[in-house]
Amino acid sequence: MRHLALPFYCAAVVGLLLALLARAIYTGAGSLLPPFGAGVIFFTWCGVRDLRHNWPAFREEMRQRSAERARTALPADDTH
């Protein structure tokens, strides 16, 4: 799951920045709108870019794990 760590981190940062952006709008702190808006755009872009880059490796790892689970045969238990 290490492939998706950075996109999840970016999503958490974007959520925090959106909350701060909403709070800045609510309180009328207009000077904070550009930095928070820029942060939302930057971390969204970084998260999407990294997700698009790492998604094939993640999908392949999940396919391999699924194949390993399907391949593993349990030993017969004939003790009754």
Separation between Cα atoms, residue 15 and residue 2, nearest integer Å: 21
- Would you say residue 45 has pLDDT above 90? yes
- Would you say residue 9 has pLDDT above 80? yes
Contact 10, 46 (CB under 8 A): yes
Residue 23 has a pLDDT of: 93
Radius of gyration for the chain, computed over Cα atoms and rounded to the nearest angstrom: 22
Query: pLDDT class for 18, splitting at 50, 70, 90?
Result: very high
Q: Of 17, 19, 11, which is closest to residue 51 (Cα–Cα)?
A: 11
Amino acid at 76: A
Question: pTM, whole model, 2 decimals?
Answer: 0.74
- Would you say residue 14 has pLDDT above 90? yes
Residue 59 has a pLDDT of: 92
Separation between Cα atoms, residue 27 and residue 34, nearest integer Å: 15
What residue ranges do the domains of the chain occupy?
Answer: 2-69
Amino acid at 78: D
